Every structure is written in structure tokens, then in C-alpha cells.
Amino acid sequence: MSPKKILVVDDEVDLVEMVRFPLEMEGFSVLKSYNREDALNQTRKEKPDLILLDLMLPKLDGYKVCRLLKFDEKYRNIPILMLTGKALEKDKALGMGTGANDYITKPFDLEKLVEKVKAYLSK
């Protein structure tokens, strides 16, 4: 059985690497993306099992990326967990309104993030 694929999308390389390591230690295959174009292309090519998506991306924000994926029948069932520094309730409501499955604010606890990922992938 091949490992579950997780796409981590964030324009901060350090954050992507910080999240990648514990996920790989749990046996997940981690795909990395630093911008929206690559995130959409990788999703179409690799069809990840889960996406960790930053909101503040250059050119096209994470809300729009989420909306594009959730309104496409091929990708709507991929769980999307937003990872963001935007902590206001209006931001969270907007994120959930675009179809995100969860909204996690930075800074976050890596262990709890890994547990959430495992919970979503066990459904």
C-alpha cells in the first residue's frame, strides 16, 4: 500500500520544511508547493489525499485556490486544512465558506497538526 500524499502549500520555505519532517516521520509522502500555480498543477497531477494550504500566497490567495479545488468535481473530496496567520473570526468564516475542512492559525502545535492530518485521512 502506497503512503498517503499530503500537499503542503506555503510561500515560506521554512514552514513547509518544518511541517514536512514530522509528516514524513509518520509515513506520509509530502509534496511541496510555494505558490498557487504549482499547488493547482500538483493537485491535478498528483491528486493528493490532503492539502495543507496557506492563505497568504502571492498573486492568488489560498481562499481562491480552495474555492477552485472545492468547486471542481475531481478534487472536491480532498480535505483542505488552511494554515494561516489570519486569526480573525471573519477570516475563519471566509475560509470555511470556501469549502475548507479545517482552519488552523499560526503559530500551531506540530503534534496537534499531525494528529488532525491523521484524523482526516482515517475517515
Model pLDDT for residues 10-33, shown as the tens digit of each residue: 999 999 999 999 999 999 999 999
Query: Are 52 and 24 a contacting pair, CB within 8 Å?
Result: no
Pairwise CA distance, residues 58 & 72, whole Å: 22
Residues 31-90: tens digit of each pLDDT: 999 988 999 999 999 999 999 999 888 777 888 899 999 999 999 999 999 998 887 788
CATH of 5-121, one of 3.40.50.2300, 3.40.50.720, 3.40.50.300, 3.20.20.140: 3.40.50.2300
Pairwise CA distance, residues 22 & 45, whole Å: 24
Cell of 20: 514536512
User: What percent of the chain has a predicted confidence (pLDDT) above 90?
Assistant: 74
For residue 109, count other CB atoms closer than 10 A to its CB.
Answer: 10
